[in-house]
Amino acid sequence: MPELPEVEVVRRGLARWVRGRTITGVEVLDPRSIRRHALGTEDFIGNLEHATVLDVVRRGKFLWMPLAMSGSPDPGLGTDGENLSKVALMAHLGMSGQLLMQDPGVADEKHLKVRIRLSPVADMPQQLRFVDQRIFGGLFVTSLVPTVDGGPGGLGETPLPEIAEEASHIARDPLDPFFSFDAFYRKVKGRKTGLKRALLDQSVISGIGNIYADEALWRARLHYAKATDTLRRADAERLVEAAKDVMNAALDAGGTSFDSLYVNVNGDSGYFARSLNAYGRAGEPCGRCESIGLRSIMKREQFMNRSSYTCPVCQPRPRNGRW
DNA sequence: AACGCGACCTGCGAGC
DNA sequence: TGCTCGCAGGTCGCGT
């Protein structure tokens, strides 16, 4: 469910509440939500208790909190400038995950999976709750490893030159200051596949899911089946700019929410859904065509076992992957 | 290398 | 009222 803008909304909210706080207790209400923690529940809890949260970092849809373990004299940077944090609490929201800040008195959510208690600070909620209806998301502890390109691992308040190991296989996302268009274009040209498949491949470009893939393609007037190895540089540039623009706009609106499944850490929905031009608009007129007096109806097709929305007029299907 | 598919889950609305 | 079906923002791992 949540794509980059939604995860970034969560990251910012979390950073405000949890940086510098120590984990005082962890309750795993459903072990399926930590199944990616291979060593089990006891080990998961043991890794977190007494650890201090240094930051909240994101690359694509992966979100992690570098931790200073108890006994570390100086959470944060060591005297030699090397960071002491070598492990992080990883969170992936999957299709329906939520990270909520709550006061202890608030009744447990129906799909509450993990409760993390934090050291009390005046006027700050004391619990971080992981709620997940479908359980495709989850939490686990992972180590931090150096990045391949030497840049920061992801976007955080005080970025580290390391990345959570479980996120190190994905490419930088378009909102990452270290995102490289050249690296993206090289990867895309090297693929022999359709454009949307490449956009959804997190190792080519990360953070884009089914909603923003369709939105970016619509804005760039490209069809999802366009062959990647024939993509012109100018088209690729337009596509990346479109992805950046639509995701920044969604971020400003607090993300895309169709229902109560996607909410920020305070439980509020975003309102970008009303600004979508393609996703979910089957049967409705294409706004761009309409604005120049053309009549065109958005259509929905199955692609990769999911829905794709296009305008048949301004996003024509390429013949043999070419125009 | 790329693909198609199933697996992992719950819940909602539509249609009968 | 209930049943079944299709559908939903994602990722991973398998066989081909």
Domains assigned to chain A: 4-167 (3.20.190.10), 181-310 (1.10.8.50)
Confidence of residue A1 (pLDDT cuts 50, 70, 90): low
- List A57's β-bridge partners, or say none: A64
How many angstroms separate the CA of A303 from the C1' of B4?
Answer: 11
How much is the pLDDT for A69? 87
Give me the phi and psi of A234, to 5 degrees please: -65, -35
DSSP-assigned letter for residue A100 = E
How many angstroms separate the CA of A71 from the C1' of C8?
Answer: 45
Pick out the nucleotide with least CA–C1' distance to A201.
C11
DSSP letters spanning A112-175: EEEEEEE---TTS--EEEEEESS---EEEEEEEEE-SSSS-SSB-SS--SEEEGGGTTSPPPTT
* Torsion of Cα atoms, A34 then A39 then A43 then A44, to 10°: -20
Tell me how far CA of residue A43 lies from CA of A34, A38, A85, A145, in angstroms: 11, 9, 18, 20
CB atoms closer than 10 angstroms to residue A39: 12
State the DSSP H helix or E strand holding residue A210, giving kind and residue range, or none if neither.
Answer: helix A210-219
Rounded distance between C-alpha atoms, residue A295 and residue A230, angstroms: 29
Quickly count helices (H) and strands (E) in chain A.
7, 12
A3 touches strand C (CB under 7 A): yes
How many angstroms separate the CA of A7 from the C1' of B10?
Answer: 21
How many angstroms separate the CA of A238 from the C1' of C5?
Answer: 40
Pick out the nucleotide with least CA–C1' distance to A1.
C9
Confidence of residue A227 (pLDDT cuts 50, 70, 90): very high
A172, A187 contact by CB (below 8 A): no
A110 touches strand B (CB under 7 A): yes
Pick out the nucleotide with least CA–C1' distance to A30.
B9
A115 touches strand B (CB under 7 A): no
**Which has the higher per-residue pLDDT, A211 or A70?**
A211
Catalytic, out of A35, A86, A306, A317:
A306
| Stated pTM of the model | 0.95
A298 touches strand C (CB under 7 A): no
How much is the pLDDT for A263? 84
Among all chains, which residue has been given the structure tokens 């970025």?
A159
How much is the pLDDT for A305? 86
CB atoms closer than 10 angstroms to residue A80: 5
Which residues of chain A between 134 and 153 are close to nucleic strand B, CB under 7 A? 134-136
How much is the pLDDT for A319? 75
DSSP-assigned letter for residue A189 = H
Question: Does A83 score more than 70 pLDDT?
Answer: no
Rounded distance between C-alpha atoms, residue A187 and residue A204, angstroms: 6
Please confirm, yes or no, whether A3 is among the known catalytic residues: yes
Pick out the nucleotide with least CA–C1' distance to A304.
B4
A305 touches strand B (CB under 7 A): yes
DSSP-assigned letter for residue A192 = -
pLDDT digits (tens, 9 = 90+) for A267-297: 999 999 999 999 999 999 999 999 999 999 9
A207 touches strand C (CB under 7 A): no
Confidence of residue A81 (pLDDT cuts 50, 70, 90): very low
Pick out the nucleotide with least CA–C1' distance to A192.
B2
Q: For strand A138-146 and strand A97-102, is the pairing parallel, antiparallel, or unpaired? A: unpaired
Rounded distance between C-alpha atoms, residue A295 and residue A251, angstroms: 31
- List A187's β-bridge partners, or say none: none
* Torsion of Cα atoms, A46 then A51 then A53 then A54, to 10°: -130
Please confirm, yes or no, whether A318 is among the known catalytic residues: no
DSSP letters spanning A62-88: EEEEEEEPTT-SSSSB-TTS-B---EE
A226 touches strand C (CB under 7 A): no
Please confirm, yes or no, whether A61 is among the known catalytic residues: yes
Residue range A313-318: average pLDDT?
Answer: 94
Residue range A135-153: average pLDDT?
Answer: 95
Q: Which two tokens stand for residue A1?
A: 């469910």
Rounded distance between C-alpha atoms, residue A188 and residue A227, angstroms: 10
